[in-house]
Structure 1
Amino acid sequence: MKLSLGFLGIAASIAYVQAAPASHSGLAAAPIAVPKTQSFPVQINPNFSRSAKASVFKTVNKYKKFVQADGHKATVLASTGSVNMTDVQNDVEYYGIVKVGTPPQSFKLDFDTGSSDLWFASTLCTTTCTGKSKYDSSKSSTYKKDGRAWSIEYGDGSTSSGVLATDNVNLGGFLIKGQTIELAKTISSSFTSDPIDGLLGLAFDTITDVAGIKTPMDNLISQKLISTPEFGVFLGKESNGGGGEYIFGGYDKTKFKGSLKSVPVNKSQGFWEIKVASSKAGSKSVSSSFNAIIDTGTTLLLLTNAVAKKVAAAYGATDNGDGTYNINCDASKLSPLSFKINGATYSVPAEDLIFEKDGNTCVAGFGYGDLPFAILGDVFIKNNYVVFSQTSSPTVKLAPIA
């Protein structure tokens, strides 16, 4: 669910998450079997603005449609090639270059574990895609027409729509054949201010806009391009130099401390949803258990209303009435916010509880929305390494970053 402040204007007011729009409608040497992996280093782009309010608004509307009304070197062995990624405006969103077609055409895509569609601007988009790299089907020998329509409605009321097709997709050196792609014919005008050309969804295939589509991760597995059905995510931040990486088929042991702890995932709604047992602000308990979705496409921590009120009270934060809070600008006067998940504790340090500064006012790295679950966005992920394991009984594996 890309709820990032930048994407598509990240809706006028939602928690820095790239809106994963709400939709309508290698080889290892024998004899040792080694997982094939792919890494995606990340770089920083300082030329993009932040907005906690926009991030919260976008994220809430992204998920609303799904709510019912009632060191050692990483084991990155076998693959050849990596994809550099960009950290936009100090952690607002992260994108990587994905190549599509034959010969390949390159696109900046927001990698989003909160949505499942792969879409980008195309030459069919003649008016609203100014400044975007556009996929040209006439220039790809492996393009195949599908023709079915897709349409995604964003939290700010804007839309993105187009038609389906198939083509080969190069994801970090892995050539996925016959991947279904969504070619945009129209996009939100607010999208033009965002540096990305589209979105690469990494949630489950049950929430694709058009039913029955296989996601890129599905195809990496079914086409046996990776031998381990997982991908590891490290998101950098200002304090550690930015950067980051996605590794498909494995994970990077140098990026976290201790050992990874496995957490069961409830995929019934199509998301990477887990159970958080409790949370604390410093040593003060602020909540009992709640469900949460781990979403790389959301910038902030978006908590349920009840949990957010208690967290805000613990930090003396004031409610802005728009899903965001103002918080003390002095990190030395704040304590870490921690979450107990399947017996282990994962924290967000005080400095990352301050997201946006405007003069003498600071906006918190957490917010709230009228949702029955929380969203653990980039504020959480850039402090905790995450491995998403897409097995028949999916899990996420977590460890604090090194």
Structure 2
Amino acid sequence: MYFLSALVFALLPLLTAVVPLVVLPLPSQSTAVPIAKRGGLKGVGGLSKSRSLVRHSMAKIKTRITAHKKNTGMGHPLAGGIKHLGKRDTGSNLLTDDSALLWYGSISIGTQADSFTVDFDTGSSDLFVPSSNCQSSCSGHKTYDPSASTNSQDLGVSFELTFGDGSSGRGEKFSDVVRIAGLTANSQVLGLVTEYSIEFQSTQFPPDGLMGLGFESISVFNASPPFQTLISDKVLTSPIFGFKLATSASELFLGGVNDALFTGDFAWVPLSNAGFWQAPFDGISVDGNSVVGQTEAIFDTGSTQIIGDPDGIRALFAAIPGASPSAGDDNSYTIPCDLNPSISISVGGREVEISPASFNLGPVSEGSSTCVAGASADPNLTGLFWILGDVFLQNVYSAWDVGNVRIGFATLS
């Protein structure tokens, strides 16, 4: 039995402010967080943004695979899927305007309930926001003053989040009360950033911080993620959260799923490993013809595209009329803007059609009839796993079941 949210909020195509949600904090409840996506790849520089988005997603996954080994003492099962795991990625134009594709909404921290915008990211597991001690690198972001909260506790541990694409943040670990749509996570570990690298500064990263929705084993802080803290604090109706990522009424629903946003039953897939939201997909077809077989996937709201190994991505685009590698980079692809390819990804025995609107990321330049495709290759992937980001997730209602360690997909209403 799932529970219907009382509030559904519209997604604004270009968000300039996130309206905080006020919900009375009652025990064992479920509720919704309005989320929005700022901008997109449309317009000039789409291919450059696409390439750096892939680098950023891969850098994030590498960092969490490394954290898993540090936290558990065991190598992550997907470690063999990435060549040169410890090698730093290089490239120009990293993250320039890329964060315009993040899904973000509001949370509050501390006894004063200061509101912050955060990127809701199923591909990571930590919560961090800027500290009031952060200087110019946090300019334009809301900052958190721990001295203003009677529940704040300095854990006396410094941290540095360093990603392979060059982005980083450093600061101090604290614990405090965190509220998400009126649901309270007590003694939640969070990072207070005292220095952001340029990639996280407000002109390139609109949210104040980030809230990971993965599992503790991939936490860089080696701490319980906020959703798991809500479970431990017994404030949720159900240990499930749901996502609708679309052009309207987008939301993160906590404590169940929003029955109004999907139809029919869920296709459930058990997770292969409870670190990332990792599970197999059955294959990919174009016009009814199979082009990619069963493969492990990381389902990631923090990644825009579908990202695969070069051989698999090459096979996908070989079946799409008019598709071609982009100039100077055979890992990114373009398609005719008026193309309506019939692409489907089978998960849990259910075929999920990828709409042309989600697969087409916009013209490579203003007025061009050639558009950026929503799938790219990363040369470091070996074929052991793919990343299925928003290009896939926008076509389904997704349920993320922490209690039963599974992920489910249903048809959007």
Q: Tell me what 1:41 maps to.
A: 34
**What is the distance in 2 between the residues matched to 1:134 and 1:348?**
39
Give the one of 319, 329, 338 matched to 1:330.
Answer: 338
- Other-structure match for 1:209: 220
Q: How does 1:4-43 map to 2 (within 5 A)?
A: 36-43=29-36
Q: Scaled by the length of structure 1, what TM-score is found?
A: 0.81
How many angstroms apart in 2 are the aligned matches of 1:356 and 1:245? 24
Residues 64-87 of structure 1 show CA distances to partners (whole Å, capped at 9, x for unaligned) of: 3425358xxxxxxxxxxxxxxxxx
Tell me the equivalent position of 2:75.
Answer: none
1:60 is matched with which residue: 55, 58, 61? Answer: 58
Matches within 5 A, 1:178-197: 178-192=187-201, 193=203, 194-197=205-208
Aligned to 2:350: 344
Change (3 A) 1:142 1:294: same
Change (3 A) 1:111 1:287: same
Q: Contact between 1:53 and 1:322, CA under 8 Å: does it hold in 2? A: no
> In the alignment, is the contact (CA less than 8 A) between 2:38 and 2:103 conserved in 1?
no
Match of 2:236?
226
Query: Amino acid of the residue matched to residue 263 of structure 2?
Result: K
**CA displacement, residues 191-217 of structure 1 (integer Å, 9 cap, x when unaligned):** 222211110000000111122x11111
1:289 and 2:298 aligned: no
C-alpha root-mean-square deviation of aligned residues, in Å?
Answer: 2.2
Quick check: 1:389 aligned with 2:412?
Answer: no
Query: In 2, Cα distance between the equivalents of 1:284 and 1:187?
Result: 46
Indicate the larger mover: 364-373 or 286-295. Answer: 364-373
Is the aligned partner of 1:247 residue 2:253?
Answer: yes
User: By how many angstroms is 1:261 displaced?
Assistant: 1.5
Tell me the CA shift for residue 45 of structure 1: 4.1
Identity, % of aligned pairs? 30
| CA apart distance, 1:60 | 1.6
Question: Which deviates the most, 213-222 or 310-319?
Answer: 310-319
Q: Does 1:102 align with 2:114?
A: no
- Does 2:339 match 1:300? no
Q: 1:90 to 1:128 in 2, by over 3 A?
A: closer
Q: How many residues align?
A: 345
CA distance in 2 between counterparts of 1:123 and 1:251 reads 36
Cα distance, 1:267 vs structure 2: 2.1
Residue 6 of structure 1: aligned partner: none
Q: Which TM-score applies when normalising by structure 2?
A: 0.79
Q: How does 1:117-266 map to 2 (within 5 A)?
A: 117-192=126-201, 193=203, 194-211=205-222, 213-237=223-247, 242-266=248-272
Contact 2:167 2:200 (8 Å CA) reproduced: no
Deviations 1:117-175 (A, max 9, x none): 00011112113111111111121121111121221112322311111001100111111
CA distance in 1, matches of 2:221, 2:249: 33
* 1:243 shift after superposition: 3.6
The Cα offsets for residues 230-285 of structure 1, whole Å up to 9 and x where unpaired, read as 10111122xxxx340111111112212321111111225x1011111111012121
Q: 1:319 corresponds to which letter in structure 2?
A: P
Go from structure 1 to structure 2 and tell me whether the alpha carbon gap of 1:48 and 1:380 turns closer, same or farther (over 3 Å shift): closer
Gaps (5+ residues) in structure 1? 1-25, 29-34, 71-87
Letter in 2 for 1:225: V
